[in-house]
Amino acid sequence: MINKGYLLGDRYRIVDTLGEGGMANVYLADDIILKRQVAVKIIRLDLQKDSQVLARFQREALATSELSHPNIVSVFDVGTDHGLPYMVMEYVKGPDLKDYIRENSPIPLPKVIKIMDQILSAMELAHKHNVIHRDLKPQNILMDEKGNIKIADFGIAVALNQSAITQTNSVLGSVHYMSPEQTRGGMVTKQSDIYSLGIILYEALTGHVPFNGETPVAIALKHAEDDIPSLRKQNKAIPQALENVVLKATAKDPRDRYASVAEMKADLDSSLDPSRAGEAVYQPSHGNNDETKILPALNGKVMQAEKKQADQAEQPKKRSLWANIKKYKWWWIGSIFPIFAILLFMFFAVGHNNVRVPNVVNMTEQAAKTSLKSAGLAVGAVKRTYSSDVKKGKVISTTPKADSAVDKGRKVSLLVSRGPVLTKVPDVEGLYLATAKKKLTKLGFKVKSKEAPSNEYVPGLVISQSIKSGRKVDATKTTITLVVAVALEDQPKATSQSSKASFKLADLAGKSLEDAQSYAKSKKLTVKVEKDYSDSVASGKVISTDPAAGTEVSEGDTLTVTVSQGAEKKEVKKTYTVDYQAESSSSSSSDSSDDSSSESASSSSTQGNHVRIYIQDDNHSLGNIYRDQYITKDTDFTITFSVSKGAGKIKIVRDDETVVDETVTADDSESGD
């Protein structure tokens, strides 16, 4: 893991972790040169010397960098940092298509077509460049906040003109979306991507994949043998023309599928036209298992089987495996290939000692820990945060995410809800409506207002509030109704009030205090000055006024001006001196019969004292090394803590001996820093 704040390649400052995968971790980073947020994919430290992983990483960078399209995630930069390869990509803020389908199903048919059109447009370009994705699935399709599609993860993409493609690579991919020929380990073509696109379209229309099973082998065999479940039986609103797009894209024989992505897109775009209302169900011309398959060979040619199956009689769809073996020996022999390919997939892509992270979201902390241990995983760090959506004490998310394939025994961290943030309701009675609204909405409350005639309150002032001040509630889910005074229709205006000149208050926000005071003096207003911190308003400038700008005021009224003191200081600097200890164990080490101990002692005496520093503050975790170096003399370390959210901690270890272990608060900052 890379620490937050680390400057990668002297340009990309790590902000947060976006995801962890089997090959690489993805981080959110700030590009300090172009002033924009980017996603950075970095090969895992334990895999940086794995030649297969490096080749896959380079293949993804090459494939994606060649494709410039608004619906494909852009690659901005590729480089290495201290020998660690990384790739800088466009940051897409939003869910992946899998999450979008799960949260929005059923999706209106025109919306489904709009989403698919973007995906198909992107893949049309990829195929024009002879790049086959090979792992198209909703998890690799991102959506930004405006609903724009971005295809990502070309990690196992392959170019059609590559001279050699290994069988192992050929079966990589996600089995729920994998074409029959792909599961057999055969040559992957553009039609293989089209099959995956058909499965994605099916899922977008129904909310689920067509085939499920207890094992990848079971799912792959269903893709190879079973008919796609009827869409129209699940949803009568789906026209036959639209179902036909799915049926043609997912035909078992690649020759029955669309010749190109462009052809599929054209068919999809007209599928809701009334002129196609009476369309017949699509029937593939080559059938399924009716004759011996023709599979592309690795050298680009084809191998034609010499014998057709002996018995063409129609058999029931549900028949035992052994009956098939006795009746169709060639089919049985052919079935060995998909099984063998899937076993390769399970071994290489998933790992023979891997497990899936169970979904423990919304479980209690204890139940989640039990579930993780039952799955052969260890419980990692347990962090807590406020949430308005997840009840207190229940799990919000895990790292790695649910359903990720990880090594058995891997630590899984939990993020547990503290419940909602409770906000104290302020007293806004007696304030002008605009000021009261601003005060409440700043705290997260929703505000409504209604008028009430009054001869006791100046028109525009808040008479009462629906939730009394002092109560603590969840502001994000609370609406406060304010009752605002209006003049009685038959109530004559006070002569003393009418004799004063009234006017609308100017907007003083951003003005200097001197300008505000001059304005008040010219309007014969009494000025009251208050100060507050602000991250957005420069020191000495006006943050706000009470009454707010635009409010009707009169001569003699009091104007409260809140002036910025600048941003609140949040950093604490402290200096720690670590004494150098000359090697004192060399003699004992030399007497040891353990060669490794002798080598370690020799290395230590040569390099000096090994110092590791761990800190915990707003940006760092005590579980990660903050600084790691050797010293050969007494050395000062100046550490800057960010402790605006509470106390920080520091631990300094010298040659496995803890020499500093203390808590740091905002009051600990050294004078002069």
Alpha carbon of 49 to those of 36, 44, 46, 53, 84: distances in Å? 31, 10, 8, 8, 9
Q: What is the DSSP string of 187-248?
A: ---HHHHHHHHHHHHHHHHHSS-S---SSHHHHHHHHHHSPPPPHHHH-TTS-HHHHHHHHH
Q: What does the DSSP 8-state code read for residue 263?
A: H
Cα–Cα dist 170/186, whole Å: 7
Q: What is the DSSP string of 403-451?
A: T-EEETT-EEEEEEE--PPEEEPP--TTSBHHHHHHHHHHTT-EEEEEE
Gyration radius from the chain CA atoms = 34
The residues facing 461 across adjacent strands are 432
- Answer whether 611's CB lies under 8 Å from 600's CB: no
The residues facing 39 across adjacent strands are 28, 89
Cα–Cα dist 246/205, whole Å: 10
Which of 360, 382, 354 lies closest to 372, judged by CA? 360
Q: What does the DSSP 8-state code read for residue 99?
A: H
Cα–Cα dist 632/449, whole Å: 70
CA 233 to chain centre: 35
Bridge-based pairing of strands 36-43 and 84-90 is antiparallel
Q: At residue 273, what is the residue type?
A: D
Q: What SS3 class is residue 559? A: strand
Long-range contact list for 72-79, CB < 8 A, 24+ apart?
Answer: 72/122, 72/125, 72/126, 72/150, 72/151, 72/152, 73/39, 73/142, 73/150, 73/151, 73/152, 76/31, 76/38, 77/9, 79/9
Q: Known binder of ligand: residue 511?
A: no
Cα–Cα dist 542/513, whole Å: 6
- Answer whether 330's CB lies under 8 Å from 309's CB: yes
Which listed residue (135, 253, 546, 557) is catalytic?
135
Long-range contact list for 340-343, CB < 8 A, 24+ apart?
Answer: 340/185, 341/167, 341/170, 341/171, 341/183, 341/184, 341/185, 341/220, 342/171, 342/175, 342/183, 342/216, 342/217, 342/220, 343/217
- Answer whether 39's CB lies under 8 Å from 26's CB: yes
Phi, psi of 153 (to 5 degrees): 60, 75
Q: Which string of b and e fits 177-200 if b means at least 16 CB within 10 Å?
A: bbbbbbbbbbbbbbbbbbbbbbbb
Cα–Cα dist 544/560, whole Å: 9
Structure tokens at 166: 């290994």
- Answer whether 3's CB lies under 8 Å from 14's CB: yes
Is residue 77 flagged as an active site residue? no
- Answer whether 176's CB lies under 8 Å from 126's CB: no
Q: Which residues participate in catalysis according to the annotation? A: 135
Return binding residues for ATP: 41
Return binding residues: 41
